[in-house]
Amino acid sequence: MKSGKHVMLLALLCVGASAPSIAQSPPPPATEFISEFVIANRILADQGVIADGFGHLSARSPNDPNHFYMSRARAAGMVTVADVMEFDLGGQPLDQRDRRLFSERFIHAEIYKARPEVNSVVHSHAPTLLPFGLTGTSLRPVSHMAGFLARAAPVFEIREVGGNDTDMLVSTPKLGAALAKTLGQTPIILMRGHGFNTVGTSVKQAVSRAIYAEVNARILMEALKMGNVVYLNESEAAKIAKKSPMPQ
């Protein structure tokens, strides 16, 4: 196993690494963990999942399950180690200084509260996912890389909890909790007119699910125009989801 800090997560996200996963290892010291977290931000930007500068990634602290890491408000492709901040599950920063925060950090905080096994959350505005949340067309798995979509992705309609005149942002604990409730035990949730979130037991799982949710959306979008689509059945989806894209 290569021990270089900066390339490790990149390697984990590719299939070439024989390294044990983060979850299987004892928690690495924070600096290595943060370095990998930064690389994961860059990967999300590189893959077009957070291409617009406004999505965000978080990771539960390996040292304290009631804390999570997230960048100060800045484009994922520009995040550096110095931008990473620590938050509590109320969404409050431990050391804000003069740094601007993402207003939607409550998406992350409330999911961590509701789902103890979740250790990472991606929030994305990827354009290819939006149409599914806008039209009632189910996002279901057509690629074996997206077995985790076995059950059609739930859609968060902010009007159901916030009424018809919100600003669309999940910027309060109440809205975050409602979103976490709609997410339930699933790995992905669409947000109508906004984007989507994936969760995982590790950064690599949440990130790779976000990447393949986007790929699956592109495939399904075109397949639906051609005719009747054969989806992965429940058994196929469940079995491949245990192996791919990232088991944990």
User: Minimum distance between the CB of residue 24 and a second copy, rounded to whole angstroms?
Assistant: 15
Considering the rule CB under 8 A, would residue 222 count as an interface residue with a second copy? yes
CA distance 229 to 233: 12
Does 78 contact a second copy by CB under 8 A?
A: yes
User: Residue 29 in 3-state DSSP?
Assistant: coil
Q: Taking every pair of C-alpha atoms in the chain, what is the biggest distance, in angstroms? A: 55
Per the CB < 8 A criterion, the answer to whether 70 and 81 are in contact is no
Q: Which of the following is catalytic: 32, 86, 104, 160?
A: 104
CB of 111 to a second copy, least distance (A): 19
30 binds a second copy (CB under 8 A): no
Site for a second copy in 90-149 (CB under 8 A): 98-100, 102, 125, 127-128, 130-132, 134-137, 141-145, 147
The correct pick among 30, 173, 223, 247 for binding a second copy (CB under 8 A) is 223
Q: Hey, what are 5's tokens?
A: 């800090």
32 is catalytic: no
Is residue 3 at the binding interface for a second copy, with CB under 8 A as the rule?
no
Host H or E run for residue 131: helix 130-135
Number of Cβ within 10 Å of residue 53's Cβ equals 13
Q: How far is the CB of 57 from a second copy (least distance, A)?
A: 14
Tokens of 32: 């290595």
Cα–Cα distance for residue pair 124/69, rounded to 1 Å: 17
215 makes contact with a second copy (CB under 8 A): yes
Task: Count CB-CB contacts under 10 A for residue 163.
Answer: 8
Give the amino acid at 217. A
Using the rule CB under 8 A, is 82 a contact of a second copy?
Answer: no
164 backbone dihedrals φ, ψ, rounded to 5°: -90, 0
Active-site residue set = 104
Task: Name the residues that contact a second copy, by CB under 8 A.
Answer: 13-18, 52-54, 72-75, 78, 83, 98-100, 102, 125, 127-128, 130-132, 134-137, 141-145, 147, 164-169, 192-194, 211-212, 215, 218-219, 221-233, 235-236, 239-240, 242-245
